[in-house]
Amino acid sequence: MFDGWGVTKEQQHSQSLFAPTNVPLDSLVLLTMRVERETSVGDTSNISIDYVLHVGHKIEDRPRDFEGRGEFRLIRVEDGGWYIVNWSDTRATGKACWSDLKALF
């Protein structure tokens, strides 16, 4: 499913996931993140975050709470912004994670 996944597919998927047909406008979406580790050398930064995400989606009998760890490798680009080069998602023990939520939609 994620072969050839890039920025464009990620944007399209995120827009679809949070569309009113999937997540009603009056529902709750709550994200809490805690930076566990951040290391930077030159124009490269590695960041590890723990997250808890609640999404009040419309799919019955599927989790609405997600928890895990995101690992991000970023590089600084010429305009001074940061670009995500690589990222991974690991579920907390016994919990659904962001990747599980993506797979629902």
Give the contacts of 83 (CB within 8 A, at least 6 positions apart).
Answer: 74, 75, 76, 77
Q: pTM for this one?
A: 0.80
Third-level CATH fold of 7-104: Nuclear Transport Factor 2; Chain: A, (3.10.450)
Note the pLDDT tens digit of each residue in 10-46.
888 888 888 888 888 888 889 999 999 999 999 999 9
Q: How far apart are CA 75 and CA 4, in angstroms?
A: 21
Q: How far apart are CA 82 and CA 54, in angstroms?
A: 27
The predicted structure's pLDDT at residue 1: 55
Note the pLDDT tens digit of each residue in 44-101.
999 999 999 999 888 888 999 999 999 999 999 999 899 899 889 999 989 999 888 8
